[in-house]
A = this chain, B = another copy of it.
């Protein structure tokens, strides 16, 4: 529970047509908001809902505010303002401090005073848990790993040996950081020999890592995730990958070994990036595309194909396999046309 005044301060917004002392009990979408609730307009699509919403006030842009009469919390970037306002209503992560009686913490680890180590956690020898860290139930922190200040591991997270996390890192359940990279050498009999994975993983500040995402340790040097990178669920990052600051990767992305992704990149869901290539800053790849070569210019790239009714797709797919034949038949016609002087 808070007031519109406090919301305006937190959101960097100003009030129009409403009173700073008005109490707000929660946030809700325009079509669902009851009196007492704050709502928001971040997409034109929902503009018509402004007329009918029962929300006490709505976060919106100066342009939208100009053309409507709703009591408004006006912000240059309503999405950012909403994110800040909504944080006032989010449950506090974990206010407990100390080590749960069922956790096992090595006497040779280093745990700052104001941290929380949850039930059934394991903290191995040499690990460092910095100030303000909250580790939820069932997490494993390997030997000599470092969890930077004010980071939070929600539950069942595995941090392998010597992995280093920056500050304010947030990791969701089931994520695995620092598993061995997939390094194999083929012997003369066609058998795979394991190449020891001697590097580690270095995670910057304010990185968020989704549920069941995996990040492998480097073969010799470190896998690096720079500051502010946001990774969704079920992402696979291979050894020695480097992801530049403030890039965001949607669910199910897979990045092969030693690929280098620039800063401020956005990868759509299910995108695949081949190994040993480089993508410059500010590149956006749409969903389910495949990148097999370096990208040297910023921009939007795609290779995903959208569905057709199956009967039609089967025909397209069959024709596709005869594409070379089309080229040859077309060229033959062109040649004939040019030779005869007529067509």
Given contacts A301-B308, A330-B330, contact A233 B216 (CB under 8 A): yes
Which of A17-25, A49-57, A62-70, A283-291 forms contacts with chain B?
Answer: A283-291
Among candidates B185, B234, B308, B321, residue contacting A83 with C-beta atoms closer than 8 Å: B185
Which A residues are within 8 Å of any B CB, using their own CB? 27-29, 32, 76-77, 79-80, 82-84, 86-87, 89-91, 100-102, 104, 118-120, 122, 124, 136-138, 140, 142, 154-156, 158, 160-161, 170, 172-174, 176, 179-180, 182-188, 190-196, 198, 208, 210-212, 214, 216, 220-221, 228, 230, 232-234, 236, 238, 246, 248, 250-252, 254, 256, 264, 269-270, 272, 274, 285-293, 295, 299-311, 313-317, 319-324, 326-327, 329-330, 333-334, 336-337, 340, 342-343
Given contacts A77-B185, A187-B80, A254-B252, contact A337 B336 (CB under 8 A): yes
Question: Which residues of the partner chain B approach A156 to less than 8 Å between Cβ atoms?
Answer: 138, 140, 156, 158, 176
Question: Which residues of the partner chain B approach A324 to less than 8 Å between Cβ atoms?
Answer: 315-316, 319
Q: Does A316 lie within 8 Å of B326, measured CB to CB? A: no
A187 and B210 CA atoms in complex are apart in Å by 21
Question: Which residues of the partner chain B approach A192 to less than 8 Å between Cβ atoms?
Answer: 228, 230, 246, 248
Chain B proximity of A88: nearest CB distance (Å): 9
Question: Which residues of the partner chain B approach A216 to less than 8 Å between Cβ atoms?
Answer: 211, 233
Given contacts A77-B187, A122-B138, A336-B337, contact A158 B182 (CB under 8 A): no
Q: Does B290 lie within 8 Å of A288, measured CB to CB? A: yes
Question: Which residues of the partner chain B approach A124 to less than 8 Å between Cβ atoms?
Answer: 137
Q: Does A307 lie within 8 Å of B302, measured CB to CB? A: yes
A158 and B91 CA atoms in complex are apart in Å by 18
Q: Does A230 lie within 8 Å of B302, measured CB to CB? A: no
Question: Which residues of the partner chain B approach A252 to less than 8 Å between Cβ atoms?
Answer: 236, 252, 254, 272
A316 and B170 CA atoms in complex are apart in Å by 40
Q: Does B104 lie within 8 Å of A119, measured CB to CB? A: yes
Q: Does B221 lie within 8 Å of A32, measured CB to CB? A: yes
Q: Does A186 lie within 8 Å of B79, measured CB to CB? A: yes
Q: Does A191 lie within 8 Å of B287, measured CB to CB? A: no
Q: Could you write out 16 A-B pairs with CB less than 8 Å apart?
A: A80-B185, A80-B187, A82-B185, A124-B137, A155-B160, A170-B194, A174-B212, A192-B228, A216-B233, A234-B234, A290-B304, A290-B307, A293-B306, A302-B307, A326-B327, A329-B330
